[in-house]
Chains A and B, each alone.
Chain A
């Protein structure tokens, strides 16, 4: 089936399946979508450049899946526009530029893994060879197995193989590791990195903060249908430059703690104290010279989880 080309970008128009250089892979402007009176997306702007791995991070119900569905052409927006490789999302999908792993999407029942992957490869103009696919998705001896008789982890690997079978330029993943244990998750992100290492662009939705931190070059945080941050993981942490000094208070008054240098806030759980500080060096030296009795000192930065909760809190 020949897909019709709808003049993608000005200048040298790339043919179906071809991609021009320096072209924004994903470009969303003011994307909005409501279901009845429920606002799922309230105007999302998003840009993803070629070769980037971008995380779409947010709590459940933030609008991540809606955004992904709009960018894949599975839904149409109420307002705003989405372009993928300069064309409509449906056209980009039809041209074989996109592969996707959707949330709660099972495989075709009643066939063998090899049959399924051969069929899916046949739908794309330039698919990955079956041998490469076995390596990339760690399929091992699964090709002869019936799709309905795979374990959860095996099914996940086959779903990943289905998504990359066409060697897509852009790989879109909607909460891909939701059903995986820690070890499977680690293996999965290794596969994604291998795939991204072939010069591919990856956009994934997750509510696992650690995942966004580990896997993404850039994190776009959305909450209640809006983008509330768009930075490298480190920048998200730096933006909330709060660091913490923790210790167990052995002797002395809790009331004194707020007077120590650099301290912005004091929390405690019985004798275990957490000081939020904008200058931990100063806080620690004044703690040492304060005459308070303490043990188990621990100085650290915020993890992404905490940054994220603060970001979400600020936006509401």
Chain B
């Protein structure tokens, strides 16, 4: 199991799509937007511009990291028969699936931490040590529903549509979730939709912690609901595929 996990992680971090979209892109976007909007403007949440953007890009990087490690990858492995081959080894199906989940979350960490590092060094985002730790830990845990969503795609979608579908979700969840443009400047209906998305809830968690605020029951509720929903869909999809794995 340990060998399986480490090899899965090594594969993910070698993936060009992961390196470009999960690691390089959020850093690039951060530098671009923070440079454009300057260091002093205030946006939603009452946070300084660079801090607010940092949290949004951490959420963005985390989202693609967990997606790239699950959806398209699992769909491809099912299509080429590797999933079946793995099932005739002593690795149990439950270990194989939980291994994917753990891998997705682990490879999200460097993507998230590097945005934080970029923000701290390039735009002097200052947070206390405990605040940094709480921010990264909370947002890391908050990526769980997105990772489960990736698993669901992997077991539901065919190899041909898994990547475009994941990409579409990535853009939709990013834009509608307020990671590009704050929800507060959007029409009311869009705000309502945005607040129900896991991406907005994930960023909200980070914004509140960076702003020194307390708990955020609404965001936690949204994340919990997405965790349950995505987890259930992933489980059902896996079961359905499991019985057909050998056909």
A residues neighboring B (CB under 8 Å): 1, 3, 35, 65, 69, 72-76, 93-96, 98-100, 102, 104-111, 115-116, 118-120, 122-125, 159, 162, 166, 172
Stretch touching chain A among B7-15, B25-33, B119-127, B144-152:
B7-15
Given A102-B81, A106-B82, A110-B15, residue A93 in contact with residue B3 (CB < 8 A): no
Write the chain B residue with the least CB distance to A98: B88
Q: Are B92 and A118 in contact (CB under 8 A)?
A: no
Q: Are B84 and A102 in contact (CB under 8 A)?
A: yes
Determine the chain A residues whose CB is within 8 A of the CB of B92 once the complex forms.
Answer: 1, 3, 94
Given A93-B88, A110-B15, A122-B3, residue A115 in contact with residue B10 (CB < 8 A): yes
Write the chain B residue with the least CB distance to A89: B88
Interface residues of B in 32-90 (CB under 8 A from A): 76-77, 80-82, 84-90
Determine the chain A residues whose CB is within 8 A of the CB of B86 once the complex forms.
Answer: 108
Other-chain contact of A109, B76, B88, B91 (Cβ < 8 Å): B76
Interface residues on B, range: 20 to 34
Asked whether any CB of chain A lies closer than 8 Å to the CB of B171, the reply is no
Determine the chain A residues whose CB is within 8 A of the CB of B10 once the complex forms.
Answer: 111, 115
Other-chain contact of A123, B4, B84, B247 (Cβ < 8 Å): B4
Q: Are A123 and B80 in contact (CB under 8 A)?
A: no
Given A110-B15, A122-B4, residue A72 in contact with residue B82 (CB < 8 A): no
Tell me, in angstroms, the Cα distance from A1 to B84 when the chains sit together: 20
Determine the chain A residues whose CB is within 8 A of the CB of B82 once the complex forms.
Answer: 105-109
Tell me, in angstroms, the Cα distance from A102 to B247 when the chains sit together: 12
Determine the chain A residues whose CB is within 8 A of the CB of B20 once the complex forms.
Answer: none
Q: Are A108 and B11 in contact (CB under 8 A)?
A: yes
Write the chain B residue with the least CB distance to A103: B81
Write the chain B residue with the least CB distance to A93: B88
Asked whether any CB of chain A lies closer than 8 Å to the CB of B245, the reply is yes
16 of the cross-chain contacts (CB-CB < 8 Å) are A1-B92, A1-B95, A69-B246, A74-B246, A94-B90, A100-B88, A104-B81, A106-B80, A107-B85, A108-B86, A111-B10, A115-B10, A123-B1, A123-B89, A159-B85, A166-B89
Chain B binding surface, main DSSP class = helix
Chain A binding surface, main DSSP class = loop
Tell me, in angstroms, the Cα distance from A172 to B89 when the chains sit together: 12
Tell me, in angstroms, the Cα distance from A237 to B11 when the chains sit together: 51
Given A1-B1, A110-B15, A122-B3, residue A74 in contact with residue B88 (CB < 8 A): yes
A115, A119, A120, most chain B CB atoms within 10 A = A119
In addition to A102-B85, A102-B88, A108-B86, 10 A-B residue pairs with Cβ atoms within 8 Å of each other are A72-B87, A93-B90, A106-B81, A107-B85, A109-B77, A111-B10, A119-B4, A123-B91, A166-B90, A172-B88
Write the chain A residue with the least CB distance to B15: A110
Other-chain contact of B3, A94, A96, A109, A123 (Cβ < 8 Å): A123
Determine the chain A residues whose CB is within 8 A of the CB of B84 once the complex forms.
Answer: 74, 102, 105
